[in-house]
Amino acid sequence: MGVMDLSVVEQVARLDAWIAEGGVAVLTGAGLSTDSGIPDYRGPSGSARRGTPMTYQTFTSDPIARRRYWARSHLGWRTIGGARPNEGHAAVARWQESGLLAGLITQNVDGLHQAAGARDVVELHGNLSRIVCLDCRELTSRVELEHRLTAANPDFAAVATTINPDGDVELDDDELSGFTVVPCRSCGGVLKPDVVYFGETVPADRVTRSFELVETARTLLVLGSSLTVMSGRRFVLRAVREGIRVAIVNRGVTRGEPYADMVIDAPLGVVLPNLATDTDNHRFVNTVTVSKPK
């Protein structure tokens, strides 16, 4: 299992038993994707301190800022688009296949849960692989857009240094000169990744669905999230209100600790592959109604 102290080993054994009971709602954050080469925001590889994230208001109102964003994101997609699921994503998909999950909610925009085989993922903040036109609302593929951006900028040779979980990168302004942004092919409108920017509201139907999944679970398991922002922490608060136990596996500090029944500070890539591995015995355990813990 790797090197872990005795207290963590004991916690992992307890969490394994909880997962084996079924009815687990999983909420994942950027820390789950670090082993896939995508830095998180606030953990050991955190990038939140490195730059100011794009806001919806700036993106829609400032053409220069929008051009800057697309140049940086064009470079960042080389990392995000090429990332592959890690053992943590595979473990979560395995639990779902075995019938142990009540639902899967992610704050990530990298699509790695689906790439690992997970289904019916509630993507709170959207997915970078989709592009939406802000005028006609048409959805198109990010791969198609990347081909268009490459064709429109044949001499763009900038090199990214630091990448953020949202696909944005750090890049000097002098490397952005002449970068061309392409419009919507259908209406000529403004294109944006189909993700929720800072200052933008998570669609109500995703929030409602997430609350429903949490409320029908017997365990809420948070993986790789510091729960610093209310976007994810509200589900922990709802679980506590409903008497549902909360377990957190995360590297570093988490704001969910005061509300959790269990917090495991350990590498997710070490912990998760060793949980609920006996899939034949666990399969379809969640097809019957389970009672919540007292």
The rounded distance, in Å, linking the Cα atoms of 4 and 1 is 8
What single DSSP character describes residue 25?
Answer: E
Q: Do residue 33 and residue 51 come from a single domain?
A: no
Q: Do residue 208 and residue 228 come from a single domain?
A: yes
What is the value of pTM for the model shown?
0.87
pLDDT score recorded for residue 46: 47
The rounded distance, in Å, linking the Cα atoms of 249 and 73 is 30
H-assigned helices in 21-61: 56-61
Among 195, 212, 232, give the residue marking a domain's end. 195
Q: Which of 74, 113, 125, 282 is catalytic?
A: 125
Q: Is 187 annotated as a binding residue?
A: yes
Q: Do residue 218 and residue 186 come from a single domain?
A: no
Q: Do residue 119 and residue 152 come from a single domain?
A: no
Q: Do residue 121 and residue 175 come from a single domain?
A: no
- Residues present in the chain in total: 294
Domain span at residue 250 reads 1-38+85-125+202-294
Q: How far is CA 85 from CA 67, 107, 279, in A?
A: 30, 15, 20
CATH code where residue 54 lies: 3.30.1600
Q: Do residue 117 and residue 7 come from a single domain?
A: yes
Domain count, the chain: 2
Q: Is 87 annotated as a binding residue?
A: no
How would you write 121-150 as a 3-class SS string? EEECCEEEEEEEECCCCCEEEHHHHHHHHH
Q: Do residue 215 and residue 269 come from a single domain?
A: yes
Q: Do residue 52 and residue 137 come from a single domain?
A: yes
Cβ neighbours of 87 (radius 10 Å): 18
Q: Please tell me the number of Cα atoms within 13 Å of 179 on its side-chain side.
A: 26
- Whether 125 is a known active-site residue: answer yes
Q: Do residue 259 and residue 294 come from a single domain?
A: yes
Q: Do residue 287 and residue 218 come from a single domain?
A: yes
pLDDT score recorded for residue 4: 53
Beta-sheet pairing, 262-264 with 245-249: parallel
294 residues of the chain, pLDDT tens digit each: 344 555 888 999 999 999 999 999 999 999 999 999 988 764 444 444 445 678 999 999 999 999 989 998 998 898 888 999 999 999 999 999 999 999 999 999 999 999 999 999 999 999 999 999 999 999 999 999 999 999 999 988 776 666 666 666 666 667 777 899 999 999 999 999 999 998 899 999 999 999 999 999 999 999 999 999 888 999 999 999 999 999 999 999 999 999 999 999 999 999 999 998 875 544 434 333 334 554
Among 154, 177, 195, give the residue marking a domain's end. 195
CATH code where residue 102 lies: 3.40.50.1220
Among 139, 161, 195, give the residue marking a domain's end. 195
CA-based nearest residue to 245, from 275, 220, 213, 224: 220
Q: Do residue 244 and residue 286 come from a single domain?
A: yes
pLDDT score recorded for residue 158: 75
Q: Is 214 annotated as a binding residue?
A: no
Q: Do residue 227 and residue 289 come from a single domain?
A: yes
Q: Is 184 annotated as a binding residue?
A: yes
